[in-house]
Structure 1
Amino acid sequence: MKKLPRRKYPKKSSLRYIYKFEELKVRYNTKKIFFILLSVFGIGSSIYWYLGMAPTPKLDTAVAIAPDIKLSYQIQSYTSSVMGGQRTYGVSLPPNYGQNPQQRYPVIFLLHGGNGRPTDWFKKGLALSVIEQLYATGKLPYSIIITPDGNDKRGASPFYDPQYIDGVNGRVNTAVGNELVRVIKSRYSTLPTAKFWAIGGLSSGGWGALNIGLHNPQNFSVMFSHSGYFRDRSGARNSPVTYIKRISKAKRQQFRIYLDAGDEDGKFLQQTKEFAQVLKTLKIPYEFNQFPGGHTLIGPDSLWNYWHKHLADSLTYVGTQFQNASPVETVGPPNPWIKNN
């Protein structure tokens, strides 16, 4: 009988190395899978964060206290020589607009944030329900509400913020802060002076509102920011925390500024506090509030829930500044109207 060759088995020491090698492979693959999942989650969260945060969250239901005040909005366009081509904006007119041809109104610009559009404040922020309540309670004089297109020539994107500056991607600061102002004055019955013009926004739109307002003091005196930042990568000229110090004291005296940020706003909260301290040092009238929530993905005060809720705070401040700027009279209760100026 033919003798079969003896089968060779690995030595125990060799088996130990083989087992360790296989164990390392398993550990490596597990870590690799974990980091891939973590990266996907991080990218997804970032995209969600910048998308402004769609889908639109469930917002607080408006209290039905103004049954006779129902606002609407339209999207209009104009030819921009500054940006080259057609630009759009949203507009909501006061309830009685056009009934008295002599009546003129204050103007409020609301700027969108990252990957935003002129419809954001109306569709995602449900701004009109907030404004209706403020009209009904007399906290905000009837005003012309404008939501500009703040995007530069690159368009809206979840991967970068709009540049509310005059830069290589377009002169957005001039387009919104000067050109669009002239368009609005030519099309609607506006009060002409800066003390009846306000500009505000959320997140990058909060920074944009202050940047545009400070560069155009001839057009705006009231500014407000929700969850905004105040240092821009483009430099000191477009960083309100430093640029405001360059403005003459005479021009600074006209400014009235509202700021708020949430506990979850991180560096935006810190920069808002820093800017508030600068305003205090320069003796510029301002109001600062810190609220729960902000730039967070979960909770009742996240993203649009936060901005919807606290739009009432900023516009109440705006209304007070409008009313303090000129004697008021009551025409048709309960809203105080500003006399022609």
Structure 2
Amino acid sequence: MKYNLFVLLLLTVSIGLRAQNQTSKSTVETKTIHSEILNADRAYTIYLPKDYANNPQKKYPILYILHGLSGVNTTWFEKYDVREVQDQLVASGESTEMIIVSPNAGGDPKTEWNGYFDMPGWNYEQFFYQEFVPHIESTYRVIGNKQNRAIAGLSMGGGGSTSYGQRHADMYSSVYAMSALMAMPNSSTPPKADDKFSLLSQSVVKNSCVDYVINATDQQKEELKSVKWFVDCGDDDFLLDSNIDFFRAMRKANIPVEFRIRDGAHDALYWHSALYYCLPFVSRNFKQ
């Protein structure tokens, strides 16, 4: 009889601990927002810290993380393991608990709009700042100030996050750019109205991150200094030269920036490894 009671007690405790562990795991959700600006539904994928559901009074810093060309909102989570890396870094004390969200700004470039800038037929930047950010920060428990907001991205998203940080410096404490599309040479051929990829290319030319620094006014340079910058690019990456150009422009303008050239190429392995630098970097620059 005593043995049976002991076994029952162990089972009860085990079930309770298992339930507690399940409710204390981080969660990843994919949701949809309707955009009046884009006249379309746009998906996003969001990571919520493990105690989000159990601590309803707590608000969190937020990282907006942008995917690359042909990527979508789930790419950071399904290909580069942002949830697993963040959980690991939080457990080791190297990263702080935060909300991480990735909006959809892409898909197959032959058929879908790609890009984080406004262009004919695709006013994505207006959507991002007028609809997406307000939706996220009113729907979820986000602290919602410059000191606790960061942005990062890879390739097309690396250029997008850098340009957003430049032109919206009042919103971000830090920017982490991976293998970033910092600039493109201007084409002598004007973009066609029905060619989504050529319109994207022209928008990158127009929003060159390198030219922004070179042409920045004294006031804009001071604004850039209010952001912590980190540029991370592989030594075999075809975008390395434009990342070096950006670093040189920032250095000439006396704007502090951390710059790393690591072993690697323009690929998933590199971006996965970059998270181990990115997440601690943005964590250090949050000021709760």
Q: TM-score, normalised by structure 2?
A: 0.79
1:162-311 aligned within 5 A: 162-232=114-184, 233-234=201-202, 237-244=206-213, 245-246=216-217, 248-266=220-238, 268-295=239-266, 303-311=267-275
- Of all paired residues, the percent bearing the same amino acid is 29
- Aligned partners of 1:143 and 1:135: how far apart in 2? 9
Assess if the C-alpha contact under 8 Å between 1:117 and 1:156 holds in 2.
Answer: no
* Aligned partner of 1:78 among 33, 37, 47: 33
- Aligned partners of 1:159 and 1:283: how far apart in 2? 42
Task: Say which is worse superposed, 74-83 or 281-290, in terms of deviation.
Answer: 281-290
- 1:17 is aligned to none
Deviations 1:265-286, CA, capped at 9 Å, x for gaps:
12x1111111112222233332
Task: Say which is worse superposed, 181-190 or 272-281, in terms of deviation.
Answer: 272-281
Unaligned runs of 5+ in 2: 1-20, 185-200
Deviations 1:199-238, CA, capped at 9 Å, x for gaps:
1111111111112222222322311111112114536641
Amino acid at match of 1:293: G
Give the CA deviation at 1:111: 0.8
Aligned partner of residue 56 in structure 2, secondary structure: coil
Task: Say which is worse superposed, 140-149 or 96-105, in terms of deviation.
Answer: 96-105
Assess if the C-alpha contact under 8 Å between 1:109 and 1:146 holds in 2.
Answer: yes
Q: Are residues 209 and 231 of structure 1, via their aligned partners in 2, closer, same or farther at CA, if it must alter by over 3 Å?
A: same
- Aligned partners of 1:211 and 1:237: how far apart in 2? 11
- Aligned partners of 2:112 and 2:34: how far apart in 1? 25
- Aligned partners of 1:83 and 1:97: how far apart in 2? 31
Amino acid at match of 1:143: M
Deviations 1:243-295, CA, capped at 9 Å, x for gaps:
242562342221111111111112x1111111112222233332111111112
- Aligned partners of 2:234 and 2:72: how far apart in 1? 23
1:60-71 aligned within 5 A: 70-71=25-26
- Aligned partners of 2:174 and 2:237: how far apart in 1? 23
Aligned partner of residue 27 in structure 2, secondary structure: coil
Assess if the C-alpha contact under 8 Å between 1:106 and 1:144 holds in 2.
Answer: yes
- Aligned partners of 2:108 and 2:60: how far apart in 1? 31
Deviations 1:175-209, CA, capped at 9 Å, x for gaps:
22442111111101111211211111111111111
Assess if the C-alpha contact under 8 Å between 1:181 and 1:219 holds in 2.
Answer: no
Q: Are residues 308 and 135 of structure 1, via their aligned partners in 2, closer, same or farther at CA, if it must alter by over 3 Å?
A: same
* Aligned partner of 2:75 among 86, 103, 120: 120
Aligned partner of residue 150 in structure 2, secondary structure: strand
- Aligned partners of 1:168 and 1:263: how far apart in 2? 35
Q: Are residues 170 and 111 of structure 1, via their aligned partners in 2, closer, same or farther at CA, if it must alter by over 3 Å?
A: same
- Aligned partners of 1:262 and 1:167: how far apart in 2? 30
Amino acid at match of 1:249: K
Aligned partner of residue 248 in structure 2, secondary structure: helix
- 1:91 is aligned to 46
Q: Are residues 177 and 215 of structure 1, via their aligned partners in 2, closer, same or farther at CA, if it must alter by over 3 Å?
A: farther
Deviations 1:35-57, CA, capped at 9 Å, x for gaps:
xxxxxxxxxxxxxxxxxxxxxxx
Assess if the C-alpha contact under 8 Å between 1:111 and 1:202 holds in 2.
Answer: yes
Q: TM-score, normalised by structure 1?
A: 0.67
Assess if the C-alpha contact under 8 Å between 2:150 and 2:172 holds in 1.
Answer: yes
Aligned partner of residue 90 in structure 1, secondary structure: strand
Deviations 1:8-54, CA, capped at 9 Å, x for gaps:
xxxxxxxxxxxxxxxxxxxxxxxxxxxxxxxxxxxxxxxxxxxxxxx
- Aligned partners of 1:106 and 1:212: how far apart in 2? 18
Unaligned runs of 5+ in 1: 1-66, 296-302, 326-337
